[in-house]
Chain A
Amino acid sequence: MLDGLRIGLVENTKFNSDKLLLRLADRLGRRHRMTVAGMVRKRSPSHEVDEAAIASLRKQSDFVVSGIGD
């Protein structure tokens, strides 16, 4: 059921947020043959994901992971 799903990643700009997300995506890829559809970067951890990024994530991915980092 999880095999082959496309992952959207939301990076919140904190230290190591991108590394954490990519490592998670790598594990999901090896375990379930998932692929990274794209990673968007928020303006800051305090801001919501902008509308254009939401539209892009909705179009390209089957689910989204939002990382916090630090």
Chain B
Amino acid sequence: MSVTAEPDPASLIEAYFERGWTDGLPVVPPTEKSVAEMLASAGLRRDEILGEIRGRNTMVVAEKVAINAVLAGCRPEYMPVVAAAIRSLCHPDFAYHGPASSTGGSAMVLIVNGPIARRLGLNSGNNAFGQGWRPNATIGRAVRLTMMNAMQTRPGFLDRAVLGNPGKYSFCFAENEDDHPWEPLHVARGLRPDQSAVTLYASNSLYQVYNQLAAEPEPLLRCFADALSNLGLPNVKGFNQVLLVIAGEHAEVVRQSGWSRRQVQAFLIEHARRRVADLKRAARLPGEPTPADETTWRYFLEKPDDILIVCAGGRAGSWSACLPGWGNKWTNAVTTAIGEFP
């Protein structure tokens, strides 16, 4: 009788560290069975191509994504979301190379909408950006591990982030569609309410915006406009996309006011601006300030649809967030419908 010893899980985990296949946290060692279950859950063939990054001669194959989803700790039913996120990542509009490799070190923010978010138990409420929810933590992590292990995006190689940010480990949350002043993000971007979708957005950073006194949208939105036009933002040359995440009490202020999404966007376009002289004094624009620069405004936002607005977070508290986009309009958020499989 032959006895085959099962590999020790702890030594397998160490082996993954040694090969550089982790994000610094322990991973779940994959098996043939767990990878097959992951693929089946999303109705994917092992050799199916989920996307291509042409500038890198990189094809992203479903099996590799499934392996990384197992490594990240995903349950099989999460795989349709991971696969859709990878399709977004490879979409030409996202222009992967910049947000993935830039010194700016952007997080790949995933916003999940529709029935699948509720079915999987994705958190859209208290601590929506924080720890404690397996789908939030592992779906975002699966995308980052796929970037590292299947798309050559390793720190120090084709990931050249100066600082990076903690969202590079994982940044995935669901939109709170129940307390929304308007239609949810995926509907605003052309899908039906009964569809599920993931929107991928490259964000340099996250600013929490506090305002406990505003009872109308205008003073509240001035805080957002200020955060979206600070002197250190990378977006000086172009009209970048931005993401606003409006939480409970602030969403209530907007809802009760009757302001539309378009009104909010128009207000921010008008108020997210700096004087050219300020930008020159801060050496964000070349040259010495001229008298005319003291009264000439440089606007940071241009088109309403470049201002993505979602609702998430707890109902109590006067906090929201804005997430300035990476680059200077060199990448665009991409929304991909998520296939549902029995």
Is B327 positioned at the interface, with any CB of A under 8 Å from its CB? Answer: yes
- The answer to whether A45 touches B98, judged by C-beta atoms less than 8 angstroms apart, is yes
- The answer to whether B55 touches A48, judged by C-beta atoms less than 8 angstroms apart, is yes
Residues of A in contact with B, size category: under 10
In whole angstroms, how far apart are the Cα atoms of A65 and B97 in the complex? 19
For residue B161, which residues in chain A have a CB less than 8 angstroms away from its CB?
Answer: none
Q: Which applies to chain B's interface (DSSP): helix, strand, loop or mixed?
A: loop
Is B297 positioned at the interface, with any CB of A under 8 Å from its CB? Answer: no
For residue A46, which residues in chain B have a CB less than 8 angstroms away from its CB?
Answer: 95-99, 102, 327, 330-331
Which A residues, 12 to 70, have Cβ-Cβ distances below 8 Å to chain B?
15, 44-48
For residue B96, which residues in chain A have a CB less than 8 angstroms away from its CB?
Answer: 46
For residue A48, which residues in chain B have a CB less than 8 angstroms away from its CB?
Answer: 54-55, 97
In whole angstroms, how far apart are the Cα atoms of A61 and B157 in the complex? 29
Nearest residue (CB) in B for A70 is B103
In whole angstroms, how far apart are the Cα atoms of A45 and B326 in the complex? 12
In whole angstroms, how far apart are the Cα atoms of A47 and B97 in the complex? 7
Which B residues, 216 to 254, have Cβ-Cβ distances below 8 Å to chain A?
237
B64 to chain A, nearest CB (A): 22
Is B256 positioned at the interface, with any CB of A under 8 Å from its CB? Answer: no
Is B257 positioned at the interface, with any CB of A under 8 Å from its CB? Answer: no
Is B31 positioned at the interface, with any CB of A under 8 Å from its CB? Answer: no
Which B residues, 85 to 100, have Cβ-Cβ distances below 8 Å to chain A?
95-99
- The answer to whether A44 touches B55, judged by C-beta atoms less than 8 angstroms apart, is no
For residue A47, which residues in chain B have a CB less than 8 angstroms away from its CB?
Answer: 55, 95, 97-98, 330
In whole angstroms, how far apart are the Cα atoms of A46 and B97 in the complex? 5
Is B126 positioned at the interface, with any CB of A under 8 Å from its CB? Answer: no
In whole angstroms, how far apart are the Cα atoms of A39 and B97 in the complex? 21
In whole angstroms, how far apart are the Cα atoms of A15 and B331 in the complex? 18
Is B328 positioned at the interface, with any CB of A under 8 Å from its CB? Answer: yes
A23 to chain B, nearest CB (A): 16
In whole angstroms, how far apart are the Cα atoms of A44 and B330 in the complex? 6
For residue B98, which residues in chain A have a CB less than 8 angstroms away from its CB?
Answer: 44-47
In whole angstroms, how far apart are the Cα atoms of A46 and B286 in the complex? 23
For residue B55, which residues in chain A have a CB less than 8 angstroms away from its CB?
Answer: 47-48
B53 to chain A, nearest CB (A): 9
Is B329 positioned at the interface, with any CB of A under 8 Å from its CB? Answer: yes
B60 to chain A, nearest CB (A): 17
Nearest residue (CB) in A for B326 is A46
Nearest residue (CB) in B for A46 is B98
A43 to chain B, nearest CB (A): 8
For residue B328, which residues in chain A have a CB less than 8 angstroms away from its CB?
Answer: 44
B58 to chain A, nearest CB (A): 12
A1 to chain B, nearest CB (A): 30
In whole angstroms, how far apart are the Cα atoms of A44 and B55 in the complex? 13
For residue A45, which residues in chain B have a CB less than 8 angstroms away from its CB?
Answer: 98, 102, 327, 330
Q: Give 12 CB contacts A-B under 8 Å.
A: A15-B237, A15-B286, A44-B328, A45-B102, A45-B330, A46-B97, A46-B102, A47-B55, A47-B95, A48-B54, A48-B55, A48-B97
